[in-house]
A and B are shown apart, each in its own frame.
Chain A
Amino acid sequence: MRSFIISSSAVKIDRYYDKNFKELAIESIKDLEKKISEPLEPEALIISSVAVEYLDKQSNMAGIIADYLGLRNIRVYRVESGEASGLAAVQIAHSLVTSKAVKKALVIGVDKLSDMSNAKIAELYSYLKDSDYIQIHGVSPLSEAALLAKIYMKTYDYSYEDLFIWPFTMHQNSPDTPHAQLRFKISPDSYKESPILAEPLRLLDSYPFGDGASALYIVSEDVAEEYDVNVSIEGLSSSNDVNDIASREDLLIFSAVRDSFIKTLKMADIELGKLKYIEIHDNYTPNAFIVLESIGLADRGKAPELLQDSMIGSAHVNLSGGLKARGNPWGATGIYQVHEIFSALLGEFKKSVLGEIDYAAAQNMSGCGDVSYSIVLKRVR
């Protein structure tokens, strides 16, 4: 069973001190609504947000946003699965539609990281780790990624400067991404001189804190036939790993990323080589390389060498600029990724690079591959 995406939209990731969670979420569907030229009539609203309770002192966010959108008598859900919440929410929408529980589902991802201090955001980010036994030591995905960077460099004989290819490439891609938070290029000097977060990782190895909201309209096949434009969800799956990297048998492969991607390709019934465009979850530089190697785009330890002009193998990766430069508003990130690959399949995003493509994919994970979701989209018409 397939579901179909018929419209999407995204606000520029930025600091929106003048907008609250609800207003930013509502802002994100304006373009989506314009594109289908009719009022939205979803039977389900799914909100993806990682930290609305802490950032906005708010629970029941889906019901409240439905209220502000004027939606009544519909199913409302809020989905939280760490940084992978966005694609988890898409999976819920897909399941609702393909099970015929509803015909139309509106998915909105929203988080506002600018509303709190950096130290508070660092604390909230550490909530991705087991609060009883891991987080309490001050461990966060940042310290885990820093350890992975050191192990990766030693194992595969790379210098810190060798890792620059990733942030450099992301900042080459982001200037013409309309919704990207950091639309500028960076030099090797600015990389090496940026503040240290957790050695060896520096500021430009990480993502910027910002506010974002993005939305998708997911419908059943019979509804999709009424529209000129649509893209099918051909594959969608997820997997998980132990929460602390210390207990993993293999630190340099994210098994959740690998396994969810394999299952997604199988569901879509395609080989990896069919994918010409993939958006991956690059919350930290070493994680980008490990993800590329985990999904099979590069042999182990080869991703930094093989990446050229944002291509690896026959696939373009992170043409948006990725989390590194497009931004990572947590619960919205997976929705941004799907908005990007959906728009690319329609020829409305990065067409000068991609041309016409039939398949594209996204991979959205939490922390250092603690849980991971993948999706494959196909252009139908």
Chain B
Amino acid sequence: MMFERSPAKIWRNRDVLYRLKYSYCRDCKRSFYPPRGRCIYCGSSNIEHRYSSGRGVVKEFTVVYQTPVGFTDMSPMVIGLIEMEEGFRLLAQIVDVKPEEISNGMKVEAVLRRMIVDGGTGLIYYGIKFAPLIEKS
């Protein structure tokens, strides 16, 4: 199956996709992802960009069976609503854990994983997914 992506598109978004760059509003003190030039909550342009620790908590999740082209070999795929330590939330895949072992409140951390394979060129694109947090002793 074809899933066409431009390598340039992935490359230019590398800070957001690989380092979880997000926006923090200096006026309303809220964070959001992906980053924008204006605050999505108060409209202020008094914004600074920061990088996430990569750690968060699962607020809710679903197991997806009707996956789009490009993701069919990952089916069933878990999509989680994850609240990051910095306060913003995002939607991303949860991996390295069986769906029945996932629960709301579970701590997760960002890991680098294969995202999609371009069916036409065979290019493999990587990105951030989330796995159960391994606490370092």
A residues in contact (CB < 8 Å) with B: 118-120, 122-123, 125-126, 130-134, 136-140, 142-144, 146-147, 150-151, 195-200, 242, 244-247, 249
A150 touches B60 (CB 8 A): yes
B64 touches A142 (CB 8 A): yes
A143 touches B64 (CB 8 A): yes
A selection of 17 A-B contacts at a CB cut-off of 8 Å is A119-B1, A119-B67, A120-B69, A123-B3, A123-B68, A130-B34, A133-B16, A136-B5, A137-B127, A138-B71, A146-B64, A147-B61, A197-B66, A198-B65, A199-B65, A245-B81, A247-B90
With A138-B77, A139-B79, A247-B32 as contacts: A133 and B17 at CB distance below 8 Å: yes
B77: nearest chain-A partner, CB-CB: A138
With A137-B79, A143-B79 as contacts: A249 and B65 at CB distance below 8 Å: no
* A247 interface neighbour in B3, B79, B88, Cβ under 8 Å: B88
Taking CB atoms, residues of chain B closer than 8 Å to A142 are 64, 66
A133: nearest chain-B partner, CB-CB: B34
Expressed in whole angstroms, the Cα–Cα distance for A222 and B63 within the complex equals: 56
- Give residues 1-18 of B contacting A (CB, 8 Å): 1, 3, 5, 9-10, 13, 16-17
* A147 interface neighbour in B13, B17, B40, B62, Cβ under 8 Å: B62
Expressed in whole angstroms, the Cα–Cα distance for A130 and B9 within the complex equals: 13
Taking CB atoms, residues of chain A closer than 8 Å to B68 are 119, 122-123, 125-126, 138, 140
* A246 interface neighbour in B64, B89, B116, Cβ under 8 Å: B89
B residues in contact (CB < 8 Å) with A: 1, 3, 5, 9-10, 13, 16-17, 32-34, 40-41, 60-72, 74, 77, 79, 81-82, 88-93, 115-116, 125, 127, 129
B74 touches A197 (CB 8 A): no
* B72 interface neighbour in A119, A147, A150, Cβ under 8 Å: A119
A198 touches B90 (CB 8 A): no
Taking CB atoms, residues of chain A closer than 8 Å to B60 are 147, 150-151
B70 touches A118 (CB 8 A): no
Expressed in whole angstroms, the Cα–Cα distance for A63 and B4 within the complex equals: 28
Expressed in whole angstroms, the Cα–Cα distance for A142 and B63 within the complex equals: 11
Expressed in whole angstroms, the Cα–Cα distance for A195 and B41 within the complex equals: 38
B16 touches A137 (CB 8 A): no
B62 touches A146 (CB 8 A): yes
B125: nearest chain-A partner, CB-CB: A136
With A132-B16, A137-B79 as contacts: A197 and B65 at CB distance below 8 Å: yes
Taking CB atoms, residues of chain B closer than 8 Å to A125 are 68
Expressed in whole angstroms, the Cα–Cα distance for A119 and B119 within the complex equals: 14
B40 touches A198 (CB 8 A): no
B16: nearest chain-A partner, CB-CB: A133
Expressed in whole angstroms, the Cα–Cα distance for A138 and B77 within the complex equals: 9
Taking CB atoms, residues of chain B closer than 8 Å to A198 are 62-66, 79
Expressed in whole angstroms, the Cα–Cα distance for A123 and B71 within the complex equals: 9
Expressed in whole angstroms, the Cα–Cα distance for A130 and B125 within the complex equals: 17
Taking CB atoms, residues of chain A closer than 8 Å to B32 are 247
Known A-B contacts: A133-B33, A139-B92, A246-B91. Give 11 more (CB < 8 A): A119-B68, A133-B13, A136-B115, A136-B125, A138-B64, A138-B74, A150-B62, A242-B40, A246-B89, A247-B32, A247-B88
Expressed in whole angstroms, the Cα–Cα distance for A162 and B61 within the complex equals: 20
Chain A nearest CB from B126 CB (Å) reads: 11
Chain A nearest CB from B119 CB (Å) reads: 11
Chain A nearest CB from B91 CB (Å) reads: 5
B67 touches A138 (CB 8 A): yes
Chain A nearest CB from B11 CB (Å) reads: 12
Expressed in whole angstroms, the Cα–Cα distance for A197 and B76 within the complex equals: 10
Expressed in whole angstroms, the Cα–Cα distance for A134 and B9 within the complex equals: 13
Taking CB atoms, residues of chain B closer than 8 Å to A247 are 32-33, 40, 88-90
Query: What 5 A-B pairs are tightest by C-beta distance, nearest first?
Result: A146-B62, A123-B68, A123-B69, A133-B34, A246-B89
A134: nearest chain-B partner, CB-CB: B91
B62 touches A136 (CB 8 A): no
Expressed in whole angstroms, the Cα–Cα distance for A249 and B87 within the complex equals: 12
Expressed in whole angstroms, the Cα–Cα distance for A200 and B82 within the complex equals: 18
Taking CB atoms, residues of chain A closer than 8 Å to B74 are 138
Taking CB atoms, residues of chain A closer than 8 Å to B10 are 136
With A132-B13, A147-B79 as contacts: A244 and B127 at CB distance below 8 Å: no
Taking CB atoms, residues of chain A closer than 8 Å to B64 are 138, 142-143, 146, 197-198
With A133-B13, A245-B91 as contacts: A147 and B81 at CB distance below 8 Å: yes
A154: nearest chain-B partner, CB-CB: B60
Expressed in whole angstroms, the Cα–Cα distance for A249 and B42 within the complex equals: 12
Taking CB atoms, residues of chain A closer than 8 Å to B89 are 246-247
Chain B nearest CB from A232 CB (Å) reads: 35
A127: nearest chain-B partner, CB-CB: B68
